[in-house]
Each structure stands twice: as structure tokens, then as C-alpha cells.
């Protein structure tokens, strides 16, 4: 018998066009005026998960992944169809949301532990293990308003995975803490798998989905596109992402430059601009800086940012990224800037296009890749005449022979 069974499930959210009072809404309704729109986050979803399976869920933002987890956790109910679980559920959705900031970490462990169905004796028994895993140390007796976001979330994670459950729901929590803490998380997942715990794992990190999931579900705009072996589903999903190249390509008529964009949009490039020149005009040998402005709704771990430079005739000049430069960004959430600076810009006279990208740590799966996002011009340094593509950072030497 399946431990999770979803049959024909549909979930609707009602989006109102404008904020209005109950009386105003009633009169609008009596006149037949439509004051809202129905948005179906899930449409006719059906699948089953066997006990002990680890099933991944992939799809672009807004595809319905988190909504399915909320249905299984009992946070919300479907408008149609049925959702059933045969066992206690622990959900890692928004870690630490039940914590009270004026209480200490210790007090919150007991309070939230009771809410998760744990008794005092059980919490006492697991207390040291929870604190150890969260790596909170001496802060355990400090009010949680003094905790960093990472500490808050690590404690929530440590508490949730030490509760009693048969089903674990995980929604994009891989960015909790640093690389060491993430390693501990995956070791714990493997331990839970060996103990027969059923896991549903939502992530944009396709490498990790491949690593830990037996089967995977691909969702798109609330519809289940595919459910099967992880290798097959990931292959189909990444192929679909790459096909968005054509769908999202746009042409700038003034210059004939083709702009292409693809990726899951788990982290979005909101803007790209250049510093160091006069507008978009730069001089060989002087500073040049590319700035990527990004935004991410959820925390994302170990993203790789990169830029690419092409000449106007299409010849690729360079494509540096943070991983190649051994510059690690542990995680991002919300908005921020990533900069790549060259103090002595080597590009020679000509017109160039700049591309920007954000990938996962494997550099196999794009979050956002934008080709030819802006253009710039390089003028030669008037002191010297140069030919070719770049001025190399080299050094001359002379070793005379014997006479």
C-alpha cells in the first residue's frame, strides 16, 4: 500500500482585483461584477509514493511544487480530488516559523517539540543531539531575536528531523548554513533513507535530486508533465529548459543583436551594467567592471556567477566565472550584486557584447543565463597602436648568448 496517495488533486487560489470592504464586494457581486480571478495552482494531480522511497520534485518557480507539499502537510486543502498520507508527517517548508523570538533557543525547542507531537521525556533525550546538529553552542540560552537567520533556520531544521515521523517533506532547505552543515544534512537524509523514511524532496539543485532520489516528478504550471525514473525526468526537464532559448529569444532591430535567455529562474538576473568607462565606452588598459544584479525568493546554495564577452562578429573572447576563480558564494537569498573587475582591461579596439549567467555548483544546470544582455565599445589607448583581440598581461625578458 502506498504511504502517499494523491488522486485528481486541484488547488485554487482566489486573487482579488482590488482591496475592498465586505459590503462593497457584496454589491459588486449582486450586480454581476467579477471582483476576483481564480488561479489554479494545481490541476488534476495524481501520483503515489511507496514506503521508503525518496521522490524528487522539479519545475520552474510557480509550478506547484510547494503547494503539493502544503497539501501533504495539511497546511491547506484541495478544492478537488483527494490527498492521503499513511504515517506521521514532518515538513521542512519554512524552517523555524513557529519559533517565538523573545524565548530562548532552549525554550523554543520544548515549545515547538510539543507542537510536533514530542513529549517532554523524548525532547530531554534528544535535546543534546538537536543542539549539536544545529551548531548553536552557547547561544542556546539566548533569546532567538539575537540569532542570525542561519542559526534560526539550522535550529528549525535540527528540531524537525529529530521528531518522530514516517514521511519527510523538504522544500529548498539546502542553503541552510554553510557547506559543512549542508553535508551534515545530506548524511542525515541518507540515514533516514536507510531507516525506511519516505522523503519528498523539492529542489532546483538537479545534481542533488539525481544523487538522492529514486523517482522524480516534473511539474509545469500546476500540471504534472512526467513522473518516473530520476534520470529520465531530469533529462526531459533540462531539455525543456534549453528549448526555452528559442521561445525567449528576442531581436534588437537597431543592431541586429540576438538576445537569448534560459534557465529555471530560481535565481534571476534583474540587471547587468558596466562600470569604469564613459557610459559604455572603455579604454584599453583602464579599469572595467561588470555588475550582475540578482534576486532569489528562496535561499540557493553555492551558485556560480559568470560573465562572457564576445566581439560583434561573434568571436568568443573570455568567459570568467566565480568557480574558475575559486571565489565561493555559500548562499544567496533576496537581492544582491556580484561584481567582476579587471583593473587593466585587455580588450582591444572594437565593439563587444556582454553575457551574464548564474548556474548551480556543477555548472550543468542554469538558474538564469542571458546572452548578449548589453553591448560596449572599446577604444584604443592613444599612446600605443595595437592589433588583434587583447593586450596580454605578459612580461618580456632577454637572455643574451655567449659571444
Pick the CATH number of 249-379 from 3.30.70.980, 3.40.50.300, 3.40.50.1820, 2.70.50.60: 2.70.50.60
Can you read off the three cell numbers belonging to residue 403?
A: 659571444
CB atoms within 10 A of CB 140: 18
Task: Please tell me the distance from the alpha carbon of residue 99 to that of residue 374, in angstroms, as a whole number.
Answer: 45
Mean pLDDT lowest for which of 85-99, 118-132, 198-212, 219-233? 85-99
Choice between 94 and 203, residue whose per-residue pLDDT is larger:
203
CA atoms of 320 and 306, how far apart (whole Å): 6
Q: Which residues pair with 9 in a beta bridge?
A: 45
Take residue 198 and report the three cell numbers written for it. 519516505
* Beta strands, E only, 106-179: 167-171
| C-alpha span between 93 and 138 (Å, rounded) | 27
Give phi and psi for 379, each to the nearest 5: -110, 150
Q: pLDDT digit string (tens) for 253-267?
A: 444 456 788 888 889
Domain with CATH 2.70.50.60 in the chain: 249-379
Reported in sequence order, the residue ranges of 266-319 that DSSP labels E, i.e. its strands, are 268-275, 281-283, 288-301, 304-311, 316-318
Residue count of the chain = 403
Question: CA angle, corner 15, sides to 266 and 47, nearest 5?
Answer: 60
As a whole number, mean pLDDT of residues 285-293 equals: 92
Q: What pLDDT was estimated at residue 84?
A: 95
Distance CA 25, CA 19 (A): 9
Higher pLDDT, 269 or 300: 269
**Residue of 153, 204, 209 whose CA lies nearest to 177:** 153
Q: What is the mean pLDDT of the chain?
A: 84
Considering only residues 285 and 84, tell me which one the structure prediction assigns the higher pLDDT: 84
Single out the residue of 322, 315, 374 nearest to residue 348, CA to CA: 315
Question: What is the separation of C-alpha 207 from the centre of its chain, rounded to a whole number of angstroms?
Answer: 13
Q: Picking from 6-20, 224-238, 375-389, which range would have the lowest pLDDT averaged per residue?
A: 375-389
| One-letter-per-residue 3-state SS of 315-350 | CEEECCECCCCCCCCCEEEEEEEEEEEECCCCECCE
Highest mean pLDDT among 8-12, 97-101, 186-190, 346-350: 8-12
Q: What element of type H or E holds 212?
A: helix 206-212
What does the block give as the cell for 140?
A: 542556546
The pTM score is 0.61
Structural domain 4-240, CATH architecture: 3-Layer(aba) Sandwich (3.40)
Closest to 109 measured CA to CA, from 94, 87, 126:
126
Give the pLDDT confidence of 306-326 residue by residue, as tens digits: 999 988 877 788 899 999 888
Amino acid at each position: 500500500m502506498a504511504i502517499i496517495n494523491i488522486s485528481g488533486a486541484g488547488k485554487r487560489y482566489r486573487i482579488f482585483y482590488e482591496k475592498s470592504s465586505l459590503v462593497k464586494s457584496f454589491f459588486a457581486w449582486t450586480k454581476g461584477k467579477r471582483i476576483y480571478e481564480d488561479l489554479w495552482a494545481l490541476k488534476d494531480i495524481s501520483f503515489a509514493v511507496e514506503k521508503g522511497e525518496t521522490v524528487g520534485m522539479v519545475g520552474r518557480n510557480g509550478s506547484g511544487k510547494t503547494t503539493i507539499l502544503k497539501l501533504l502537510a495539511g497546511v491547506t486543502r484541495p478544492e478537488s480530488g483527494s490527498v492521503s498520507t499513511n504515517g506521521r508527517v514532518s515538513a521542512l517548508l519554512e524552517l523555524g516559523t513557529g519559533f517565538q523570538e523573545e524565548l530562548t533557543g532552549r525554550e523554543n525547542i520544548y515549545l515547538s517539540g510539543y507542537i510536533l507531537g514530542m513529549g517532554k521525556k523524548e525532547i530531554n533525550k534528544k535535546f543534546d543531539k538537536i543542539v549539536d546538529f544545529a551548531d548553536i553552542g552557547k547561544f542556546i540560552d539566548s533569546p532567538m531575536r539575537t540569532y542570525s537567520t542561519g542559526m534560526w533556520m539550522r535550529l528549525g531544521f535540527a528540531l524537525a528531523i529529530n521528531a518522530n515521523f514516517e514521511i519527510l517533506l523538504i522544500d529548498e532547505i539546502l542553503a541552510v548554513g554553510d557547506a559543512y552543515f549542508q553535508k551534515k544534512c545530506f548524511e542525515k537524509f541518507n540515514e533516514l533513507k536507510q531507516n525506511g523514511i519516505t522523503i519528498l524532496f523539492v529542489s532546483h539543485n538537479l545534481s542533488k535530486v539525481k544523487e538522492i532520489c529514486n523517482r522524480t516528478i516534473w511539474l509545469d504550471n500546476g500540471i504534472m508533465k512526467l513522473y518516473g525514473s530520476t534520470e529520465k525526468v531530469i533529462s526531459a526537464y533540462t531539455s525543456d529548459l534549453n528549448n526555452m532559448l528559442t521561445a525567449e529569444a528576442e531581436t534588437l532591430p537597431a543592431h541586429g543583436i540576438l538576445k537569448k535567455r534560459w534557465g529555471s529562474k530560481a535565481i534571476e538576473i534583474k540587471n547587468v551594467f558596466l562600470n569604469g568607462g564613459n557610459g559604455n565606452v572603455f579604454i584599453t588598459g583602464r579599469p572595467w567592471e561588470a555588475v550582475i544584479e540578482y534576486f532569489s525568493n528562496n535561499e540557493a546554495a553555492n551558485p556560480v556567477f559568470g560573465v562572457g564577452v564576445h566581439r560583434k562578429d561573434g568571436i568568443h573572447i573570455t568567459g570568467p566565472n566565480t568557480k574558475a576563480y575559486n571565489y565561493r558564494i555559500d548562499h544567496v537569498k533576496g537581492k544582491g550584486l556580484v561584481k567582476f573587475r579587471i583593473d587593466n582591461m585587455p580588450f582591444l579596439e572594437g565593439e563587444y557584447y556582454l553575457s551574464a549567467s548564474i548556474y548551480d555548483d556543477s555548472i550543468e544546470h542554469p538558474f538564469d543565463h542571458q546572452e548578449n544582455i548589453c553591448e560596449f565599445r572599446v577604444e584604443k589607448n592613444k599612446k600605443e597602436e595595437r592589433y588583434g583581440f587583447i593586450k596580454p598581461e605578459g612580461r618580456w625578458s632577454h637572455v643574451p648568448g655567449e659571444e
